[in-house]
Structure 1
Amino acid sequence: MNLLITSATIIDPNSPFHQQKADILIENGIITKIGTTISSDHEVFDANGAYALPGFFDLNCNIGELGYETKEDLETGTKAAAAGGFTGLALVPNAKPVHSKTEVEYLVNKAKGNLVEVHPLGTISQKREGKDLAELYDMHLSGAKAFTDGNHPVQDAGLMERALLYAQGFDGLIFSYPEDTAIAGKAKVHEGVISTMLGMKGIPSLAEELMVARDLYLAEYTGSPIHFSTISTKRSIELIREAKKNGLKVTADVAVHNLTLTDEVLMGFDSQYKVKPPLRTQADVYALLAGVKDGTIDAIVTQHTPHEVEFKDVEFEIAEFGMIALQTALPNLLKAGLSLEQIAEKLSVNPRRILKVEATSIAEQQKANLVLVDTDAEWTFTKQNNLSKSYNSPYLGQTLKGKVLLTCNNNQVYKS
């Protein structure tokens, strides 16, 4: 791939050209020169003042392969990712069969050479049943950078303790999806005023916060690092903030929709807004945004969760949790009021640091791993330009502000 990007404003805290407007010359997938008025015989893409950021990296992405390819497969998932500006995905093992050594190797090998780099996460417990420790080291040798039971929270404190201790031996990282299922029960929405008005049983914030507190105690006791996935409540943020002040090795992420939506959108019983953890209150959203800005929350994830129409276009009570979100992440984060510097930190730099994968920088002699975005461009998300295999998004048919113009990585380029 040979390409000259002209007049791009670089937003990359790790780049010596951060906040500078410059031309970027890419030859054979490598940034060979950054400067002003670069001349070249290669194809020219006029950025016209648009912004170049390091390629986005999603720490929480569901792709159906293996087992649920009717929801999403690697081909469609990575195409949707590239269209959303993502050049890296951490795949959560919410598939069947779940990720073991064999599945991790299959996904790593199948995704080799793709514009979007794929990093399967291994399971903590065998078959995600929460009983016996999975073969973490074998999966680590096969390419698993971290371990999680996905949307099956680990209820057994002893199992979580053993996982934290065992992973230390090879510098592995345990992801905690914090939910006490005994308290959450089979409820579908956040417990509060809206759930009462809807006449629906709610999931208390306490269900998440108890598990955050438990796993922080376990991390302190074992001296292990821990990462919390999809934090959603004000109290969870407070607990993690205090743990960081006390020197615990803790990181956390939040889903885009928990930064931008509240449970008030559920008044119409639209199942496209049914996610887990559930949409919370405006007070929680304010606390989450404050956590993003003060560094308590290290990363932002899409929690991209595709479903066939028969699993979402049904009564709210029986609909599955989740929405597709790879292509709509950028405009929603801009709508939430985040700056491009904050987006670069939380969606590009920190996710790679947390997962210990190769860092990327918009600098000379570095691999061209970047996304070009226009923060003012408006576009409508439709079934025609949706590249996912599924359509479960509340944003279909809506006009969004903030567009990905092109995505570069691994000597390949995607243009919108």
Structure 2
Amino acid sequence: MNNILISSATLISPGHPNNGQIVDILIEKGNISKVSKKIAVENTKIQVIDAKGAVVSPGFFDLNANFGEPGLETKEDINTGTAAAAAGGFTGVAVHPNTNPAVHSRSEVALIVNSAKGNLVDVHPIGAVSKKREGNELAELYDMQTKGAIAFCDGNHSVQQAGLMARALLYSKGFDGLIISFAEDESIAGGNQMNEGEMSTYLGMKGNPNLAESLMVARDLFLAEYNEAPIHFTTISTAESVDLIKKAKAKGLKVTCDVAAHHLVLTDSEVADFDSNYKVTPPLRTKKDIKALLKGLKDGVVDAVVSQHTPHEIEFKNVEFHIAKPGIIGLQTVLPFLVRAGLDAETIVDKLAIQPRQIVNKEVPTLLEGTQANLTIFSTEDKWVFNADTNRSKAANSPLFGQELKGKIIAVINNGQLIKN
């Protein structure tokens, strides 16, 4: 990577002496050598990035992404997944164990860590809570952590056995591990296709009620409190979940949560045309739920925003709605979703760069002089078109495909590498 001068960017990095100011940033040999209001350079070999009107922040970090490797590389491999992540502004991603085989032992964790070495995007495996993600027997949690697993979750399978979840919480507490809960009571959800409400009644489809999520959130909060263990809830989607977690935080429980970017904008009314690209899990909810999630973000109840990037081959999405696989590719559209949701740049940085790392005890890039450059340059005003030319994922299952989007990633820098859009 050549030496780089980022010119006229608004720096947003809490605790930085230049936070909120328009600055120039000089990067030499991958490290930040100078941050100043104006930097004059005579070296013609320095690459200049004009960031006027844009924001420079610590690199974004995604707590919930799905790559197919190992075993499902036709959906996404580490190379294409990290390319999509970089294009979406992410310099770090936590990949969930929705693979084949599942990431349930040190072998799979080591495979992912070794395969991702040398990449601009840091890839952090999340190990499965249970063997094969079947919810019957505890996986090798500590072994996985020694090889690089940063947390444990059964991915898009919710742990149905309360006893197993309790043992996972208690055991992981002993080595400062973190259990992530995907909250869904399958006996209530019933494998149904969309949110239960007026729209599901109108369309004649069986619905998945808010209760399926909030019931499991309540259960896991009780278990975390009983075992005095930390817990993180991923992709909460209901007003009831926000309320439960707010009360748990007020009691002093060590609980954090995140929301998928698409759940802050899209509602179950999008399903009216039976477009399978709007089929996700948890399902798209109502305007009331969106209002509660956005208020939760503002009030600090919801700690982070994730992509829940879930790529699928065309044969799993270009089918009837009721048999289509749930999920959308989200790494490149998180920023546009947050801009559409009305979040300001400071909140975007907090929920995408700062708090996600704090949840999994990863060092937050400071952008101070003398530190390694790990940053994202983005604009909340610039527009771009998400199509086959700009998509970096192997998959194309997104409801935003083909649309002009507001909110653009200009460049990312990490590990001595630069990627510009």
For normalisation by structure 1, the TM-score amounts to 0.99
Q: Percent identity?
A: 58
Q: Give SS of 1:367's match.
A: coil
Per-residue CA deviations over 1:293-342 (Å, capped at 9, x if unaligned) read 10000010000000000000110000000000111110110110001111
Secondary structure at the aligned position of 1:146 is classed as coil
Q: How far off is 1:131 after superposition?
A: 0.6
Q: Please give the alpha-carbon distance, in whole angstroms, between the structure 2 residues aligned to 1:310 and 1:17.
A: 50
Kept in 1: contact 2:58–2:364 (CA 8 A): no
- The answer to whether structure 1 residue 45 and structure 2 residue 49 are counterparts is yes
Q: Once the 2 structures are TM-superposed, how far is the Cα of residue 36 of structure 1 from its aligned partner?
A: 2.2
Q: How does 1:257-336 map to 2 (within 5 A)?
A: 257-336=262-341
Q: CA deviation at 1:229?
A: 0.7
The 5 A counterparts of 1:108-127 are: 108-127=113-132
Structure 2 match to 1:151: 156
Greater than 6 Å deviation, 4+ residue runs: none
Shift in Å, 1:48: 1.7
Instruction: Find the counterpart in structure 1 of residue 410 from structure 2.
Output: 405
Matching residue of 2:236: 231
CA contact (8 A) 2:196 2:207 kept: yes
Quick check: 2:109–2:149 contact (8 Å CA) kept in 1?
yes
Aligned residue for 1:28? 29
The residue identity in structure 2 corresponding to 1:50 is: A
- 1:16 paired to 2:17: yes
Deviation at 1:402, TM superposition (A): 1.1
Structure 2 unaligned blocks of 5 or more: none
Structure-1 residue corresponding to 2:8:
7
Question: Over aligned residues, Cα RMSD in angstroms?
Answer: 0.7
How far did 1:14 drift?
Answer: 3.3
Question: In structure 2, what is the Cα distance between the partners aligned to 1:15 and 1:312?
Answer: 45
Equivalents in 2 of 1:170, 1:373: separation in Å? 37
Cα shift at 1:49: 2.6
1:292 offset after TM fit, Å? Answer: 0.6
Contact map agreement 2:413 2:419 (CA 8 A) in 1: yes
Aligned equivalent of 2:93, options 78, 89, 95: 89
Paired residue type of 1:319:
A
- Three-state SS of the structure 2 residue aligned to 1:366 is coil
SS in 2 for 1:127: helix
- Specify the code of the residue in structure 1 equivalent to 2:9: A
SS at match of 1:7: strand
- What is the CA-CA distance between 1:91 and the residue it aligns to? 0.3
SS in 2 for 1:147: coil
Distance in 1 (CA, whole Å) between partners of 2:363 and 2:114 is 18
Q: Residues 26 and 32 of structure 2 are in contact (CA less than 8 Å); yes or no, is this contact kept in structure 1?
A: yes
Q: Which residue of 2 aligns with 1:241?
A: 246
Deviation at 1:110, TM superposition (A): 1.2
CA-to-aligned-CA distance 1:110-151 (integer Å, 9 cap, x gap): 111210000000010011110111010100101101000001
Amino acid at match of 2:403: Q
Distance 1:326 1:186 in 2: 26
Q: Which residue of 2 aligns with 1:351?
A: 356
> Are residue 171 (structure 1) and residue 176 (structure 2) matched?
yes
Are the aligned partners of 1:71 and 1:390 in contact in 2 as well (CA < 8 Å)? yes
TM-score (norm 2): 0.98
Number of equivalences: 416
- Distance in 1, matches of 2:374 and 2:213, equals 36
Deviation at 1:108, TM superposition (A): 0.6
What is the alpha-carbon distance in structure 2 between the residues aligned to residue 161 and residue 132 of structure 1? Answer: 12
Per-residue CA distance 1:204-232 (angstroms, 9 max, x = gap): 11000110000000011000000001000
Report if the CA contact (8 A) 1:255-1:301 is conserved.
yes
- Does the CA-based 8 Å contact 1:21-1:49 persist in structure 2? no
Q: Tell me the distance in 2 between the aligned counterparts of 1:288 and 1:236.
A: 9
Cα distance, 1:105 vs structure 2: 0.4
Residues 35 and 368 in structure 2, CA contact (< 8 A), matched pair in contact too: yes
Q: CA deviation at 1:67?
A: 0.7
- Give CA-to-partner distance per residue, 1:247-286, whole Å, 9 cap, x none: 0000000000100110011111110000000000000000
SS in 1 for 2:409: strand
Aligned AA (1:139): M
Q: In the aligned structure 1, how far is the partner of 2:18 from the partner of 2:53?
A: 15
Asked whether the 8 Å contact 1:17–1:363 carries over to 2, the reply is no
DSSP-derived class of the 2:418 partner: strand
The question of 1:380 aligning with 2:380 is answered no
* Secondary structure in 1 matching 2:83: helix
- CA positional deviation for 1:197: 0.4
Q: Which residue of 1 aligns with 2:72?
A: 68
Alpha-carbon distance in 2 for matches of 1:65, 1:15: 37
Gaps of 5+ in 1: none
Alpha-carbon distance in structure 2 between the residues aligned to 1:339 and 1:374: 11
Give the aligned residue type for 2:309.
H
